Amino acid sequence: MKLHLYNTLTRSNQLFAPLKPDVVRMYSCGPTVYNYAHIGNIRAFLFPDLLQRVLRVVCGYRVEWVMNITDIEDKIILDSSLGSATWKPEMGVQTNNPNDNAAKLALFYEREFLNDLSIIGIKRSDFHAIPRATDFIGEITALVRKIVENGFGYESDGSVYFNLAEWRKSEKYGQLFTIDTENFRAGVRIDADEYDRDQVSDFVLWKAHKEGEPSWDFELNGKNLRGRPGWHIECSAMGHATLGLPFDIHTGGVDLRFPHHEDEIAQSKAGYGVETSAFWCHNEFLEVEGTKMSKSKGNFFTLRDLLDKGLDAMDIRFAMMSAQYNSVFNFTFFGLESARKARFRIQDYIHDLHESPLDSSALTSSYISEFRREVFAELLNNLHTPKALERVFAYINAHPAGSLDEESRNHLIAFFRELNAIFEVWVISKRPEKHVEIPEEVRNYAEQRWQAKIERNFALADQMRLKISELGFTVLDSKDSYTIEELPH
Ligand code: AMP
Ligand code: ZN
């Protein structure tokens, strides 16, 4: 089955086909690990997770999914200084060497992040690689060198910049995002990794060493430019090293279109001479009361904040998956509650399917095939999860679980299993048998009652029964033994 995907590069819903037969190579911009991920960030990873699952489960492709870890960047350095809010004593602040502190901070939050991914149902085994920027310094410096050799980069004060004026003579800059070049002046440089569209300038590829910052040697034209990479060049080098260029799909949040992705496209082409990716796909923001959730605005919840409030990670996952990835998701607690109800409506139906009696006169298997085709068609239409779920609800509302013969019931259960390989929020089985631990006290009373009955001391037996029921249990007698059961709540 064929997938249509919105491609920011062509500004259209495009029919997807991988560049190499049967394997889809996909790169997702990962987190900058200087703090706990907030659930807005998590949306940016649930989107490629959904996409890779649809590509595997519905389209039948093998997927090589790479998500990087940005473990060297301005914010990490800033926050690894002693006394910063995200620096925690348990990371072990026992060194004055700032190089170590940045690495420790990054490693700490990388672990927390990977843990969050598994809590939210993103599986480690679904990744082809999770490269860390600091493990690719050799590839990064090689790329900077190539860009300079090809005439699109230059050194200034120990840093290396991308020569945008030179690049724009023959190449397009601003493919994903409409860029404001009115203020652009050739040779004006910007050292920050993040900047606005009206600050388009020669952006930094390699940053000269500053006192107290982590740094690496970099030999360029016989000079050692000790320093560290800019943010954008990291993804160019890691995408090339782990997947080869061009690959099929590049993902990230809409805020990454410019400058991060725009600069990535320019760097990779200037250095490697090839395009980066056939499809560029961007998730919209998760908002709180009309404002993007972000660390800097302070309007954020981390996953652990929500779990601490007693919320279930599967409800958070389902709530986010219930909205189309490229529409704004408005986060509310009421929304999470509704998502929970909706999730359980489907969960109950799946349990009922296993438990209800069969009806041989009922729906045929081809009816289920058609239902499956319709649900998948919605997912193949740019991952339209809300419409796919709408079809699931329409089906379960119209067809009680008992209205199936054996073949069509098995068929429907198999379909829910496939659907869960995408949504990953249900249990595809009978209701689990509740295992009730019977307290020692209850067992003692029950035994005393049984002895009292044998001795025909019915008054004592009744007293024991009362004590047992006060503890929430009851005894059922048969001819020569008894069982203990929990009373319904
Ligand atoms: P960062 O760790 O800041 O580099 O962000 C990691 C990913 O989260 C990027 O793809 C961002 O575009 C994305 N992101 C950040 N804030 C939000 C938000 N409120 N909603 C959705 N995605 C976001
Ligand atoms: Zn990136």
Paired tokens of 402: 């008992």
Give the 3-state secondary structure of 219-252: EECCEECCEEECHHHHHHHHHHHHHCCCEEEEEE
Query: Of all protein residues, whose CA lies closest to atom 12 belonging to ligand 1?
Result: 253
Mutate to test the pocket of ligand 1, among 113, 255, 283 (most ligand atoms within 8 A of CB): 255
Query: Residue 100 in 3-state DSSP?
Result: helix
Contacts of 22 (CB under 8 A, 6+ apart): 61, 62
- Which residues approach ligand 1 with their CB closer than 6 A? 29, 31-32, 40-41, 43-44, 252-253, 255-256, 283, 285-286, 292-294
Contacts of 122 (CB under 8 A, 6+ apart): 45, 46, 49
Residues with a beta carbon under 5 angstroms from ion ligand 2: 29, 235
Query: What is the per-residue pLDDT for 88?
Result: 63
CA distance 311 to 316: 8
Query: What is the per-residue pLDDT for 95?
Result: 43
Q: Model pTM? A: 0.88
Closest listed residue to residue 449, CA positions, set 471, 470, 466: 466
Query: Of all protein residues, whose CA lies closest to atom 18 belonging to ligand 1?
Result: 40
Distance from residue 303's CA to the centre of ligand 1 (Å):
14
Q: Which atom of ligand 1 is nearest the CA belonging to 254?
A: 12
Q: Which atom of ligand 1 is nearest the CA belonging to 41?
A: 8
Query: What is the per-residue pLDDT for 459?
Result: 86
Query: What is the per-residue pLDDT for 89?
Result: 54
Query: What is the per-residue pLDDT for 453?
Result: 87
Helices (H), 325-405: 333-355, 365-380, 385-398
Q: Which ligand is nearest to the CA of 73?
A: 1
Distance from residue 414's CA to the centre of ligand 1 (Å):
35
Query: What is the per-residue pLDDT for 1?
Result: 81
Q: Which atom of ligand 1 is nearest the CA belonging to 293?
A: 19
Distance from residue 259's CA to the centre of ligand 1 (Å):
14
Strand-pair category, 62-67 with 23-28: parallel
Query: What is the per-residue pLDDT for 477?
Result: 81
Mutate to test the pocket of ligand 1, among 29, 33, 41, 120 (most ligand atoms within 8 A of CB): 41
The crossing angle, in degrees rounded to 10, of helices 365-380 and 385-398 is 160
**Structure-token match 């009816």, residue found:** 367
Query: Of all protein residues, whose CA lies closest to atom 9 belonging to ligand 1?
Result: 253
CA distance 159 to 204: 7
Query: What is the per-residue pLDDT for 138?
Result: 98
Query: What is the per-residue pLDDT for 93?
Result: 43
Per-residue pLDDT of the chain (489 residues; tens, 9 = 90+): 899 999 999 999 999 999 999 999 999 999 999 999 999 999 999 999 999 999 999 999 999 999 999 999 999 888 887 666 666 655 654 444 555 788 888 888 999 999 999 999 999 999 999 999 999 999 999 999 999 999 999 999 999 999 999 999 999 999 999 988 888 888 999 999 999 988 999 999 999 999 989 999 999 999 999 999 999 999 999 999 999 999 999 999 999 999 999 999 999 999 999 999 999 999 999 999 889 999 888 899 999 999 999 999 999 999 999 999 999 999 999 999 999 999 999 999 999 999 988 887 777 789 999 999 999 999 999 999 999 999 999 999 999 998 888 999 999 999 999 999 999 999 998 887 777 789 999 999 999 999 998 888 888 988 999 999 889 888 888 777 888 888 766
Q: What share of the chain is helix, strand, coil (3-state, %, to 5)?
A: 45, 20, 35
